[in-house]
Amino acid sequence: MTLERERETVVEYAPALADLTPGRTGNLSVRRGDAFAVTPTGVPYDSFDAADVPVVGLDGERKAGRMAPSSEVPMHTGIYKHDRPGAIVHTHSPWATTMATLHRPLPPIHYMIVAVGREVPLAGYAPYGTEDLAANAVAAMTEADSDAVILANHGLVVTGPDLETAVENTRHVEDLCRLYLRSSAVGEPHTLTDEQLATVEAKFESYGQGSEQ
């Protein structure tokens, strides 16, 4: 089966997508080479198996899978062709989408933002499922050197080397959007400086059980 491991990974992480986004509004994908496995369109996240999961080439052509792919295939292909991450998660999670309706980027109010960059930029609005949306997302992430982007009046996109990381960082960004909006209701949140963020980035390089103690 084409991209068998990647299709199984999509099925594995589909429940996490259901927890992050309302209804059937999100999508995720995982890439290998010049193709990617992506969630099918318009179906509950617990109603498909690996054989159903569509496989799409970077040219946008469907290669395998019993179900039709997400309507956001143009955005996934656009991002993959630009910087070739290993996975993409797109949600309409409530706090990030609130930021999207306010046209606000997420500034560095907490050190955990460095999981995706030093800010989460805002991409200009374009209709869903279009190449214009992909171009806006890529441009905003490139300018900000970020692995995530808030799509104006739409939602959130997070990329990563693999689907586990992309899902985890989607949760981080959603939590930081909630923190930002709650703190903004009380006053103006203070942001970290570039120097402070650089210190965190250096510390993250040696963080975790795989680092030398």
Q: What positions carry a catalytic annotation?
A: 72
**What is the DSSP track for 74-93?**
HHHHHHHHHH--SEEEEE--
Under 8 Å between Cβ of 159 and 85: yes
The CA-based angle 83-85-86, given to 5 degrees, is: 155
Query: If phi over 0 gives left and psi between -120 and 50 gives alpha, with beta otherwise, what is residue 192?
Result: beta
How far apart, in whole angstroms, are the C-alpha atoms of residue 35 and residue 56?
5
